[in-house]
A and B are shown apart, each in its own frame.
Chain A
């Protein structure tokens, strides 16, 4: 099993709909979870982080964490064409101290 796994996509969502991005991780003891957005040719930009089970909302973004299932997700409401990007899930796995382990990313396309 890969340490942090994401569906690479592309995930195509109509404008105005909810985009749902998923991520699973291997280390049950992980405590910190991050979502980054990366536009083509640019560096990753932090959009959400979550430490506790449940939901965390920030504007149009909601991060959901289920530690029992080792699953974290990102919901984007009212999707806009500018949301089209690669979304990277990152987890703080203890094996690298506080270094982050990233998934390969999910390529999201918002169709106008």
Chain B
């Protein structure tokens, strides 16, 4: 059984740039959720995708957007990057929107 995979593992960007992070869900899982984790904090929910539709969104501005593809993989896009966007971005997949979520290893994003 293949687990959740994320790419890239590390990324360095400058303020104002745009970034795309990718996630492949665990085999058999149809739901992907994205979280942002700042140092010393718990993960914060960004949004969730189920069957290619957004199913719930946290308190993040519209410059955070996402997609889910027919194979259930997903992308997180962030426009107009700010210094505060520096964080670990986590993708989690589940079999159903309210089922236990399993995390990938994350993408560490640094904004200079």
Interface residues of A, Cβ cutoff 8 Å to B: 4, 31-32, 34, 36, 42-46, 49, 88, 90, 92, 96-105
Contact = CB atoms under 8 A, between A and B. Distances in A.
A32 B43 contact: no
A44 B58 contact: no
A44 B43 contact: yes
A96 B45 contact: yes
Interface residues of B, number: 26
A38 to B, nearest CB: 9
Contact of B33 (A45, A46, A100, A105): A100
Contact of A98 (B40, B42, B97, B102): B97
Contacts of A34: 100-101
Contacts, number: 64
Contact of B45 (A31, A32, A43, A101): A101
B58 A99 contact: yes
Interface string B46-61: 0110000001111000
Interface stretch (B13-21, B63-71, B73-81, B103-111): B103-111
A96 B56 contact: yes
A95 to B, nearest CB: 9
A96 B45 CA distance: 8
Contact of B56 (A31, A99, A103, A104): A99
B74 to A, nearest CB: 14
A87 to B, nearest CB: 11
Contacts of A42: 105
Given A97-B56, A104-B40, A44 B45 contact: no
